[in-house]
Structure 1
């Protein structure tokens, strides 16, 4: 409740149902009426029309990010925040895949936007995964690499996953085995072998990422791969490959003669 110069009371109604949300997602003072100014409405309409007509290829990263943010932040001009997020994280993919706690550190990013970004990330991964599950790996190798990059290329810490294949080299399971630091992830060969037996897998592909962006294998990567191969060989399980995912490319142990 505020008092005006004439001594009367004036009441300011919040734009949001609770103060916490208003603090998370600040609204420009020009939007006190609860309605978007015409220039923001027109801008949003133009972006949506361009996307419908030309798709994502017709839009730079910041405009595509704006489209995502329209739903999360319906009452503000999101262009400045889109630019800030790209400045902070580098590109669209890194914004979407950033950890929630890091996103929350950016002023103006609240729970609604973080949730929508994480839903978008999960949808992208699920769509890429659907292209390779229950399909022969050899015949869908490019799709497999696309999936690995979608799931792992922009992680800020190392993640190690195993792709389990049946006798026809079809992917029957994709499981994350461990997470680590920026340059190390703990992997236990016996656990990998045990899980392969549980799934009745005939072959495996190991995959992990390098947050540095450089997919070159370290000595520990080479040693770990050899130990897993040693654990699998007596069981009659083939280790097809070990892929290291960098920011823009990948390295194959098999192609490099390391396996």
Structure 2
């Protein structure tokens, strides 16, 4: 199997790393791909699948696994997904986790970052290249706006972890293009298909891969909507998405309960 060597960039400068042979994605709903439906409407696609497709254009032999499961907390990703990834012995792992923890009261970003670094150290100890995803800037997110400070603190730790362990970083916080509502699905918690596409382009850039499009491209003009239309959308969102989300939290349930990973083994695309 051919394994391409690419010039990639991380917080400490540029390095040459072999990441072309196999890629494993770890995390929660963001990496599982909600809300970017797959072409056959069987599950979700998402930014990680899209990134794997980009990697496969230069290496058709690429093997890819996605172990992410919606609703998972950081300790669950570390306890279940990280060992599974190590067993698969991939060239590259992407790790984006901790957002669900930050949404819950009482979780300290400092403690979360300490656990996150332990997972990164474990992966790096096995010679795996690691790409870290930061948290989004949640200034305009209706549910997550109140945790923006905690996300910022967590992101600062993630950058420091990347520096210490030689990881690449997909800096989602700096993606101002994601401040547009069209980057998000109707639940306002998960990216739209176009949002996922732009994150995949950003991730490819973090790996030093040339692509034919720019994730920074401005959104096309949009006709203004009346206050009445916006109010109706807000009420429908609260009824169909916010209330069920709060209900699951109160019952101690997760949308990922009983689910397994969508792509548990390394396979060619």
TM-score using structure 2 length: 0.29
TM-score using structure 1 length: 0.30
Structure with higher Rg: it is 1
